[in-house]
Structure formats: structure tokens, C-alpha cells
Structure 1
């Protein structure tokens, strides 16, 4: 559930808050791109359950069981919008959903090509950068009132100096530095499009940079490159060693992530970047949590980053030839080699009116582990 400001109680189900002020009606229509994705489906569900939007338009290449279930539950409030954000198709298939039936007054861009390795690396820039640029132009033309670009803290990169350390955590206005991966670099470029258009063309958009998002999701068991955290492999005992054992990452449960995104839609300021998430674990601690929840021992071996880097490029080339994702892609190794990247989230939480502390991240890991175990049980 997303957090209401004190001025708006949960009982006022037909009211929303914007900039701390009560508004007498919800958004008329909100378009969510990437609606079938891990974060996107939770955003869609929260928009509907909390009456933030009278109608939610769900952009997807094809309907998924989760979207069809929401359509059955909420009826005409859910509109399945078949479209593609890549290339010219963005204007021809996405634009109509921003303008039809009176248009949209809200847009949340959850679409992204998110993985450490991709059979088609051109998709990083195509979806995370070029498509964002076209989408924001369409939103300006359609006069959308509120826009949220969903991103990742990894897009902040590694700024010069000691930014990202415990003594100098990243701030929302810290200038981004060099990114470690193609995913992070392309997301940074897309974020810059939104922030630049907010400054130069009055685009009513902000960026929400999320910590590592955790929860149950069908991609955990889909195999291949989509299980970026390798939770399924850990549950199945298929991770042979720990890489970056002491590197610290920050995590957030998917429901809290959705709450933050909706809060940004309601109260975010144009041109602002919000950093969301505050539960930190080393890689070793993350593996231990999965081990405790699953009953499967955590990897006992530790591989130094420099050693992993030596064979990463060869493994990447082999993956291109065979179509099988490498266990430790070069982008993952570079991200780990950049080391701990800490950020300060308190100012963003206050400005967005988020309800903290967040749900214990262990519970989100528990849901992910149970999802994998139940799936495996059905397959046996």
C-alpha cells in the first residue's frame, strides 16, 4: 500500500494528495509502460486498489496472466494497451493510448531492458534511452500532467571522489559519474532526457531511482538472463561461489517500490531525482538470508573480482555463440568491482511523504524464495 500524507486518511478512498494537498478526485487515466514487468504490475495493482486512478492503461506487448487477472477483478478500470516502445512503433502504437478518450493525466514509465547480459545488447539503448526520449516527446504533445521515470540507483554511476561511501553517500542532486554496466549507462541516459526536458521544455516529470527490488516474480523461474539476482539459482544450490562478498548493495521490497513510484506521481516535483531504499546488505549477507530461508547452504567459495574478470570476456563470447547467459557477465563483474555504492534516501522519503521504516526486506526475500520453491515443487 502506498503511504498517504497526514492530511489524507486511508478512508478517503476517492481522494488523492498532490504536493501535500488533498485533491477531490483521483487521476482520470494513468498510462503505465512496462505494465507486465516485475515493478510495473505492482504499480498497476496499487493504482487500482488505492483508487489513485479511475482508469489504468497498461502498455504491454502481449497480455500476461497477471494483467488479465487485474482486468477480471477491476473490469473497465483496466485497459490493456498493446504496443511497442521500440523504434517507430512507439509513435504509432503508444501515442494513441496517451490521447484517446480524453487522454491521460498521468504517465509512469516502468519499461526497461534490465539484465546483466543480453543476447541483443542494442536493446539497452533502444529501450532505456531512445524510447524514453520519444515517449517524453509524445507526453509533451499530449499534455500529460504528471510523469514518473522509473530508474535505478546504478544509473548514478561512480562519481569522482569518495561519493557513494559511508562518509559521503550519494544525494539526489549528486552529478552522476561513469556507469559500470550497459544497463546502468543506458538508464542514466534516459533519466537525463527526462531531467533535461523538465528544465528546458517544462516536462512535468521526475525520476525515481530505486535500490535493488526484491519480491516474488515469474522472472525468477523463467531461466536465462532475467533473474538478475540469481535467487532461483541460490535456492537450487547452483551458485558455485560468491563474487564481491563484502560489497554492499541497498534493497527495497517491490510493494514499497511501487508505493514510492505512486508517491512521486502524486507529490514529485518536476526535474527532481528521488533515491528510494535504505536496507543494506553485503553480498555475503544476502546469500546467507537466502540460505536461511531456503535451507540450502550458501556458496562456501569466494572468487576475487580480478580472477572473475580474467575469464568474463571469454564467457561473454561463448554466451553470444551459444545463447546461454554466462554465470558472471562482464557487466556484473564491473558493477561489483566498482564496490559499495551507498546513497542517502531520507530527504527523498520526506519529500515524497513515504511511510518508513519500510517492510523488512527479509519478508520480500521470503516471498521470492517461496515462489521458486513452489514452482519447483509443481515441476517435480
Structure 2
């Protein structure tokens, strides 16, 4: 008798990382994929997989809407979140990244889900006392609403893990690069289109990960038999902001500015932009939380656990950027 397929529900399945996770899950013939979507229109982003997945409408900020999507699921991957550094209403960060995550976790307990993977960010550690940090490091202060809200959402899950045995794992993705990113946080499009007037934090170092590697890590954490109770930092290629944009310039054959503007000079300007954006409801050119994150210094972590336990190997940043640039320049 054929063993019944394990049902995996993915929140945030229509997003940049979520679409790749769905694609990766479908490579496993023993899995059946459900996608939580806001609406039928929202499911259009999953059209390439339409005949192979089930889309169920729901919203992580409304716990009562999750039961149908989670019922009978063996595993849940929570990718849904507000991945930005600005909002016209800062409460949105906490509504989605904190309370939304808690709604997912509590629903998983109610529906007796056997594996739960929370997808988060290294920024959830804030600014740790020692750099590079690892999964066991204590968090520091958080320079942005995004970082703080993700930390609080993660902690809600770990409390339920300790108190009610929520079968939780967490995957913390470095800055994700690849084709199909519709957010402005990584500034690839601005650089390619020559709309980058100067560098900010040119000597600050960040860690990057290719989007397909990110999806691979998430699925491996889900399926690893000993991953419950474990956190994984994902991504191992580091580059300063200057190196990052110079790489974009070389691949795209565009000019990248050399001038670096100190963060201290920009804080008054960013605050003014922020105040104006509160009135216009439009994202400022330089969100204040981006500047605060840059001013906090390099974000360096040790990803060896992902290599040792999940057997991760990582694609180069150059390959990831080349794919992103090709996608940006592809005729629509």
C-alpha cells in the first residue's frame, strides 16, 4: 500500500522566497503542498504550479482563517511577514511579524502539526555583544522595527516550544539575492538603472545568500529528523557595501558611485524624509530604519551549523546577482 503523502502548508508562498520554497517542495514526490493566500487574485503568482498545489485563502493576522489551511498538515513553513524597513504605520510590523507568527504557532498546536519552520532573519539578533555571533548568542538591541518585530515573533514561538512542545525550528536567512525580488531593500534595481547617487556605509559588511539556497535550507530544516528545537543561520558570503555594489557594476556594466556619505550627515535628512513620508504615505528614498541598521555596523555570523547539520553548500554572490540583474533587464 502506498504511504500517504505528507501535507506541507506554506504561508507567504506567493512571495520572493516562498515561490522558490514551493518549487523546491514539489521536487519531493512524498510531499503535497498547500499555499495560504490572501485571495484568488493573490494566488496568480503561483500560476506555474496551479495543477500541483492547493491554494487556500487565509491571513496570518486572523487566526480563525488558518484552520482550513493547517488541518491535516504534517508540516507548516511560516514565511509570511512584512519584509521592509518602512511602513506608513509601524504597527504593521508587529501585527504581521509578531502577532501573525503567534497566530500561526498557536494554530499549529491546535491542529497537531508535527513540524513547524519559522523563517526569520539574522537581524532578529539585533546588535549582539560579540561579532561574529551564532545561534546560541544572546540578542542585542534592535535598530529597526523590522528586526525587533521578527525577534518578538520568533520568541513567541520559542516560548510555545518550551511550554507546550511546539515542534519548532527556525531558519534565519541572510540578505537574499536572486531573480524575482519585488522589494527595494537590496537596491539591485536602483544600481542597475543608475539611480544610486552615493554609497552609505560603504565599509559595513553584510552576509548574503542565493534565493534557491535559502529555499533549500528551509526545506532541509523541515525534513531533517533532528531539527526540532534548533535555529539555523543561513548564508556564508560576506561583502562590504562597496564590494557589493562594485560587483553589481561589474556584472551589469554600469557605473557605481565611489563617494561614501557618513551616516551622521544623513540622519537629519532621513528624519525629514520620514516626516514627509508620514504625510504622503510613500516610502522615503532613505528610510530612517535603513540608516539606523547601517549605522549599527557589520552584521557577521557563523553559519557552520547549517553546513554541519543541514549539509548546506552555498552558491556565490556573483551568481545570485547575475541572475537578479538578468531578471531586471528581461523585457516585460
Partner of 1:94: 66
Selected match of 1:285 from 240, 243, 258: 243
Indicate if the aligned counterparts of 1:34 and 1:109 stay in contact, CA closer than 8 A. Answer: yes
- Corresponding position of 1:181: 144
Hey, what's the Cα distance between the residues in 2 that align with 1:287 and 1:199? Answer: 42
Deviations 1:276-313 (A, max 9, x none): 11000100011011111111101232110101112111
SS in 2 for 1:41: helix
Question: What does the per-residue CA deviation read over 1:124-145, in whole Å, with 9 as the maximum and x for residues that have no partner?
Answer: 0001000111111110010000
Give the conservation status (yes or no) of the 8 Å contact 1:194–1:206: no
Equivalent positions of 1:1-380 (< 5 A) are: 28-51=6-29, 53=31, 55-62=32-39, 63-71=42-50, 75=51, 77-86=52-61, 89-91=62-64, 93-99=65-71, 103-160=72-129, 163-164=130-131, 169-217=132-180, 219=182, 226-267=183-224, 269-354=227-312, 356=313, 358-375=314-331, 378=332
CA distance in 2, matches of 1:264, 1:316: 38
Distance of 1:51 and 1:157 partners within structure 2: 39
Aligned mates of 1:25, 1:361 — CA distance in 2: 40
- The change in CA–CA distance for 1:26 and 1:150 in structure 2 (over 3 A counts) is farther
1:182-202 Cα deviation digits (max 9, x unpaired): 001000001111112111111
CA distance in 2, matches of 1:64, 1:134: 21
| Cα separation, 1, equivalents of 2:63 and 2:307 | 33
5+ residue gaps in structure 1?
1-23, 220-225
- Distance 1:289-1:25 versus aligned 2 partners, 3 A rule: farther
TM score, norm. by length of structure 1: 0.83
Cα distance per residue 1:214-245 (max 9 Å; x no partner): 001151xxxxxx31111111111111110000
Equivalent-residue separation in structure 1 for 2:276 and 2:45 (angstroms): 35
After superposition, give the CA deviation of every residue in 1:311-340 in whole Å (9 maximum; x if it has no partner). Answer: 111111111212331121110011111101
Contact 1:27 1:105 in 2 (8 A): no
TM-score, with structure 2 as normaliser: 0.95
Q: How many aligned positions are there?
A: 328
Q: Unaligned 5+ residue runs, structure 2? A: none
> Residue 116 of structure 1 contacts residue 332 of structure 1 at CA under 8 Å; is this kept in 2?
yes
Cα drift, residue 149 of structure 1: 0.1
Q: Secondary structure at the match of 2:96?
A: helix
Q: Which moved more, 1:294-303 or 1:25-34?
A: 25-34
In 1, the alpha carbon distance for the partners of 2:91 and 2:219 equals 30
Alpha-carbon deviation of 1:117? 1.0
Give the alignment's Cα RMSD to 1 decimal. Answer: 1.5
How many angstroms apart in 2 are the aligned matches of 1:370 and 1:66? 20
2: distance between equivalents of 1:275 and 1:218?
21
Deviation readout 1:147-201 (Å, 9 max, x if unpaired)? 10000011111123xx12xxxx111111111111100100000111111211111
Q: Distance in 1 between matches of 2:26 and 2:74?
A: 15
